[in-house]
């Protein structure tokens, strides 16, 4: 009785292959991206603070009109060059800022290919720095940029503009 009658209760036979995984890079998590941004911000803030002791730079950074809607060209003229000096080489060579290097994440195009220097420095970071000319514009951009990371793609506004994503290195 243990012959063919027991076969009725046997598991079905099917050829199944294990999926070994894809070559798709793993997106960096939001907390790691936040930590990298904080590190980058602290580095630039410390250097900007030190530069305020230079009278010419301090004069550029101090707006003539202190109203809420005033334009501050000095912030743009000092901020972006400072960013380029501190982060430019790392971004062009490694697709990472110093904070991203410390956190083990990097920037790539959405298709996984390397991002060009123009895409990184011009679109991803340059557009955001252009908004620093106005406190209101900078604040609105910063809020929208930050909140968009909660999409399923984990792309901030600057990622969408530059067609980039941040992955684990």
- Could you tell me if residue 116 is inside a domain? yes
Token digits of residue 45 = 């803030």
Q: In terms of residue numbers, what domain contains 51?
A: 27-168
- Could you tell me if residue 86 is inside a domain? yes
CB atoms within 10 A of CB 70: 13
Pairing of strands 105-109, 164-168: antiparallel
Domain count for the chain:
1
- Could you tell me if residue 48 is inside a domain? yes
Q: Give me the residues of the chain with pLDDT under 70, please.
A: 1-6, 16-22
- Could you tell me if residue 20 is inside a domain? no
pTM, 2 dp: 0.78
Q: Each residue of 118-157: pLDDT tens digit?
A: 999 999 999 999 998 888 999 999 999 999 999 999 999 9
User: Residue 63 and residue 55: Cα distance in Å, rounded?
Assistant: 14
């Amino acid at each position: 009785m243990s012959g063919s009658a027991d076969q009725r209760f046997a598991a079905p036979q099917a050829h199944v292959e294990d999926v070994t995984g894809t070559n798709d890079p793993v997106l960096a998590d939001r907390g790691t991206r936040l930590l990298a941004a904080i590190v980058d911000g602290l580095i630039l803030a410390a250097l900007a603070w030190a530069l305020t002791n230079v009278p010419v730079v301090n004069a550029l950074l101090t707006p003539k009109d202190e109203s809420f809607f005033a334009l501050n060209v000095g912030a743009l003229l000092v901020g972006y060059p400072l960013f380029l000096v501190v982060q430019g080489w790392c971004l062009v060579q490694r697709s990472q800022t110093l904070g991203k290097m410390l956190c083990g994440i990097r920037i790539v195009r959405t298709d996984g290919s390397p991002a060009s220097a123009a895409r990184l420095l011009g679109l991803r970071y340059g557009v955001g720095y252009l908004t620093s000319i106005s406190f209101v514009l900078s604040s609105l951009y910063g809020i929208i940029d930050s909140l968009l990371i909660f999409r399923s793609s984990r792309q901030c506004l600057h990622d969408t503009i530059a067609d980039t994503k941040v992955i684990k290195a």
